[in-house]
Structure 1
Amino acid sequence: MSYSEWKTYSLKDICTDISYGYTASAKEEKVGPKFLRITDLRNEFIDWESVPYCSINEKDYKKYKLEIGDLCIARTGATTGINTVIEEDVDAVFASYLVRFKLNKEIVDPTFIKYIFKSNMWYGYVNSIISGSAQPGANAQQMSNFKMSIPDLDEQKKIASVLSVLDKKIVLNNKINKTLEEMAQAIFKRWFVDFEFPNENGKPYKSSGGKFVESESGMIPEGWKEGTLDNLVVINTASVDPKENPEILYEHYSIPAFDEQKYPKFEYGREIKSNKYLVRPNSFLVSKLNPTTKRVWDPLCITENAISSTEFINYLPKDISYQSYLYCMLNSERFSEHLIKHATGSTGSRQRVKPAETLTFNVILPDTETLKKFDNLIRPIREKLKINQINSAVLKDVRDILLPKLMSGEIRVPDAEREVEECLQKSN
């Protein structure tokens, strides 16, 4: 089917229903179905495990229940226009700052529509609506007037299939990384909370009668000490003004980049508006902004020009042997609780932690030999995490290059399939 045969539709032409969402308070406890909110759309792929719940009566549940193929779009604030197509059979309803468009599957393939709504064509339309507004936002009627060119259903499915291959690999990488992170935390807990690290004979220390000494926080293995985070790290505040080097390509670790993909953005100095911290190899970044949302980054440092937002605390280990121990400690629930406890400011996203307050976090200081053994175990996990992050970023770039070309008819499906196959072979 040639591009000239594609038909133009408004969003409202391909929907059977358009609805605003349900107003309720999100609950962490399982009091009802999952409650999809704008904040749950900040990543490309919804992490349903982190989506909270809400209470709802049976009548409203039927009205707001999400089904596979539903298109949900944020309608307010800086997030106006971000969207998702429901691809899993999840017991969920949608919140009031979202608009749900029930797609007519006799006309369109929801996966094809998903890619249209990730394109610059859609976001350009959104920007034309909200430009000049004091408070960005768009209503359902404005959104429903968005026009797009669409091929027949068979061609839609072919295009969606090509792009979905890349997305499925990205999702798989994300799942693998989540498992690897959980594995690292489980090993950390076994070694440094349960004290079942291997003794000189390879046996679990505590279970095998290992010796303990008393400390302020309780019994700890003989030869270990107590201290604070200050004993393990220095906070690096060396900064740079990227605008002074407009032609340098910076590896920029920002809060939005973390939230979107946990991958740095590569930007020229002229594109970056404010001072940034220099990021040195072997350092770790922890967001001081809104600590209830955990953001811990093990930077890739692919280039010599790595920088970070000043909203990150930039920790540099005093000793390289501490690195994997620090990585797991900064990712621990106990450290997250410390940040939340020491946050100041109004509620929500305006809360911050003072970097100096984090240095008072109580830690156990294991002996050097144990730290080296732990690093030998965890370092390969961290390296695999980084490889998967890089591969996913490459896959996303290929997808985003192919997307407008397929949607404009510049390339046909067979050519795109060849490019996808080459990309997948390189990423394996």
Structure 2
Amino acid sequence: MKTWRKIRLGDACKTNMYSYSPKENWNFVNYLDTGNITDNKIDSIQYIDIVNEKLPSRARRKVKKDSIIYSTVRPNQHHFGIIKSQPENFLVSTGFAVIDTDSKVLDADFLYYLLTQSTVVESLHAIAEQSTSAYPSIKPSDIENLEIEIPDIATQKKIADVLFSLDKKIAQNMEINKNLVA
């Protein structure tokens, strides 16, 4: 079995790399706020016609495939997810830390599962409770400063694939249960 190694998360990923600028002249935006995603399940995406409506000041962060979005406010509320597909002109709230991995070192799915483990969420929430803001919050640097142990990239992908398969089966079973109740 290959050995795992300890890394500082910020050495294998970047946070908040891309932002929207009004100079881009989009006519509309599909916007995801922090409260509209929980445990990687999106409740709704807000369509904003920015020709006729004002864009919320927090609608600034751009994401791409495999970007991890992690709410910086009250991590214990599980407002996080990983982007696998997105609508056109998609922005997320500045209330998210957008995490993009160096794919040669760290698999995005593996990192998503690691960051959403209850021990990591609790650890980040403990940091948030020590913040000086009016509500518990973390900074992107708090995520970047996490030290994690990782295996080689092939093993990371295998682990993430197994966890994804389990999540998919759980979702299927929940749908079956909903139909049985109906």
Aligned counterparts of 1:32 and 1:23: Cα–Cα separation in 2? 13
How many Å apart are 1:159 and its aligned residue?
A: 0.7
Give the CA deviation at 1:116.
Answer: 0.2
SS at match of 1:107: coil
Secondary structure of the equivalent of 2:46? Answer: coil
TM-score normalised per structure 2: 0.75
Pairing 1:52–2:50 present: no
Amino acid at match of 1:42: T
Who is 2:35 aligned against? 39
The residue aligned with 2:137 is 137
| SS of residue in 2 equivalent to 1:138 | coil
Note if contact 2:74-2:125 (Cα within 8 Å) is conserved in structure 1.
no
The answer to whether the 8 Å contact 1:19/1:99 transfers is no
Query: Given the alignment of the two structures, is residue 153 of structure 1 paired with residue 150 of structure 2, yes or no?
Result: no
Give the structure 1 partner of residue 170 of structure 2.
Answer: 170
Match of residue 88 from structure 1: 85
Does the 8 Å CA contact 2:125/2:136 hold for their aligned counterparts? no
Aligned length: 167
Give the match's secondary structure for 2:136: coil
CA offset at residue 75 of structure 1?
Answer: 1.0
Is 2:69 aligned against 1:75? no
User: 1:124 Cα deviation (Å)?
Assistant: 2.8
Question: CA distance change for structure 1 residues 172 and 128 in 2, over 3 Å: closer, same or farther?
Answer: same
Q: Is the 8 A contact 1:68 1:87 kept in 2?
A: yes
Question: When you count strand as a share of all residues, which structure comes out higher?
Answer: 2
* Structure 1 counterpart of 2:179, from 384, 398, 413: 384
User: Unaligned stretches of 5+ in structure 1?
Assistant: 25-30, 58-62, 178-381, 388-428
2-side partners of 1:104 and 1:55: how far apart? 34
**Amino acid of the structure 2 residue aligned with 1:7:** R
Distance 1:7 1:122 in 2: 18
- Relative to the length of structure 1, the TM-score reads 0.35
Q: Aligned-pair distance for 1:88?
A: 2.2
Change beyond 3 A, Cα 1:103–1:383? closer
CA shift in 2, pair 1:121/1:19, >3 Å: farther
Aligned partners of 1:114 and 1:385: how far apart in 2?
32
8 A contact 1:69–1:110 mirrored in 2: yes
Identity of matched residues, %: 24
1:139, distance to aligned residue in structure 2 (A): 1.1
Q: Distance in 2 between matches of 1:161 and 1:18?
A: 26
Task: Decide whether the 8 Å contact of 2:75 with 2:124 is kept in 1.
Answer: no
Return the alpha-carbon distance in structure 1 between the equivalents of residues 169 and 99 of structure 2.
27
CA displacement 1:94-148 (0-9 Å, x = unmatched): 1121111111111111111111011123113213312344520111112211111
Q: CA RMSD in A?
A: 3.2
Instruction: Tell me which amino acid in the other structure corresponds to 2:99.
Output: F
SS where residue 54 of structure 1 aligns?
Answer: strand
**Corresponding residue for residue 97 of structure 1:** 95
Structure 1, residues 130-187: CA drift from partner, whole Å, max 9, x if none? 234452011111221111111001101111111111112234456x57xxxxxxxxxx
Contact conserved, 2:30 with 2:48, CA < 8 A, in 1? yes
SS at the partner of 2:69? Answer: strand
Query: Are 2:100 and 1:106 equivalent residues in the alignment?
Result: no
2:113 to 112, 115, 125: 115
Q: CA separation in 1, counterparts of 2:77 and 2:145?
A: 15
| Matched-pair contact (CA < 8 Å) for 2:71–2:80 | yes
Q: Is the 8 A contact 2:9 2:143 kept in 1?
A: yes
Alpha carbons 1:37, 1:94 under 8 Å: kept: yes
Shift of residue 21, structure 1, vs aligned partner: 6.5
Describe the shift of the 1:384–1:143 C-alpha distance in structure 2 as closer, same or farther (beyond 3 A): same
**Aligned match of 1:7 in 5, 12, 16?**
5
- Report the CA distance between 1:44 and its aligned residue: 3.8
Higher helix share: 1
